[in-house]
Amino acid sequence: MAVATGISTDFLSPFGYHNNSIVMGPAGCRFIDYSRFGVPLTVIVLVLAPPLLIVFWLSVRTWRKARGALQTLALRARRPRV
C-alpha cells in the first residue's frame, strides 16, 4: 500500500499523469503552476499517508483476527456433542 501511495503522488509535474499534459494547453497552465500547487499536495500526502496506512493496516489485521476467532467459535457451537 505504501508503494502504491508513493507511486500515485506525482503532483509536481504535468507529466505525472497523461491527463495533466492534455489539460495543460487548453487550461493555460504553465509548468510552474504544477509545482506551485503540487508541492503542498505532496507534503500533505507525505505527512498523512504513513500514519493512515499504519492505522488502516492494524485495523484490517485486528478485524481479520476477530473474524477468524468468531468463525472458530461458530464452528465449535455447531458441532454435535457426543
pLDDT the model gives residue 47: 92
Per-residue pLDDT at 82 exceeds 70? no
Q: Is 17 left (phi over 0), alpha (psi -120 to 50) or beta?
A: beta
Task: Return the closest-CA partner of residue 5 out of 58, 54, 45, 60.
Answer: 45
The one-letter amino acid code at 45 reads: V
Per residue in 43-63, pLDDT (tens digit) is 998 899 889 988 888 888 787
Report the domain count for the chain: 1
**Domain range enclosing 24:** 2-78
